[in-house]
Amino acid sequence: MILVLGATGNVGGEVTRQLIAAGERPRVLVRTPAKAGGFQGRAEVAQGDLEQPESLAAAMRGIDKLFLISSGANLTRLEANAIDAAARAGVQHVVKLSVLGADAPTFVFARWHAAAERRLVDSGLRWTMLRPGNFMTNSLLWAESVGREGKFYQPSGEGRWAAIDPADVGAVAVAALTTPGHEGKSYTLTGPESLSAAGYAQVLARVLGTPVAFVDVPPDAARQAMLAGGIPADYVEAVVDLNAAMKAGTLDAVTSGVERVAGRKAGTFEAWARRNAAAFRGPQPALASA
């Protein structure tokens, strides 16, 4: 049996849905079972929390393969909790969602994941590392300002990155979880084209049929905006650092990992944006009553 963490999130949700579509009946670990209601009858729902290691034993019982994912500044500790529980339960293979650059980390997110990768390798469990670049869904952070004023703000300058559709990451994960030959391998995953923020703005403008502009802002302006929005300070610093890495060209790479592992070409940002265009259009005016 396969256990999926993060099944209520973008990537974990894709992994769960695609496993079900492939004929599997996975188990999903969630803090709040009600949020996994859409999987009832098609997946087992187990309640647990990576912050509470004692809650993981029951969820791991009878599991052969684990899809490991977490986020935040404490992800190394959280994933260590999951890895230790998996080892105790006799899990055979762990597919870990990591990040592009974790093999030679130069920015904060990569260092966090590199530490978790080392913990997994040192555990003695069989492993597969998935190292995607920036997710297309992260552009939803631009949606409010795009819908309100036709602009989005980010301190990434002319830096380029090849955003990837979480559905493609899910497809690679499902292949690694359900077909042989992936143990001990690491896959760097990107979308098919590397664009600057201005390039992503042009795509959104084409999809929405209205002007969209990218505004390069100083890192401190982005920092203060995120702090004002209630984002924890350590995570804010990691995001600022990520934008600096993007600006420096650290994430400017295009790979064939999705096609090589999942057997399909990675989707474009334009295709993803067309499916999600409503999120960027902003509030629609109310119709006048007759």
Give the lowest-confidence range in 103-112, 201-210, 280-289.
280-289
Q: What share of the chain has pLDDT > 70, as a percent? A: 97
Parse the chain into domains and list their residue ranges. 2-132+165-190+253-267
Q: What does the buried/exposed string (b/e) look like for 83-103 if buried means 16 or more CB atoms within 10 Å of the residue's CB? A: bebbeebebebbbbbbbbbbe
CATH number of 2-132+165-190+253-267: 3.40.50.720
For the entire predicted model, the pTM comes to 0.93
Give tens-digit pLDDT for 211-230.
999 999 999 999 999 999 99
User: Strands 126-132, 160-161: parallel, antiparallel or unpaired by DSSP?
Assistant: unpaired
Phi, psi of 29 (to 5 degrees): -100, 120
Sign of dihedral through CA atoms 190, 195, 197, 199?
Answer: negative
| 247-271 pLDDT, tens digit each | 999 999 999 999 999 999 999 999 9
Integer Cα distance of 29 and 26 in angstroms:
10
* Residue ranges with strand state E in the chain: 2-5, 27-30, 44-47, 65-68, 93-97, 126-132, 151-154, 160-161, 185-189, 195-196, 213-216
The amino acid at residue 217 is: V
Torsion, Cα of 74, 75, 76, 82 (10° steps): 120
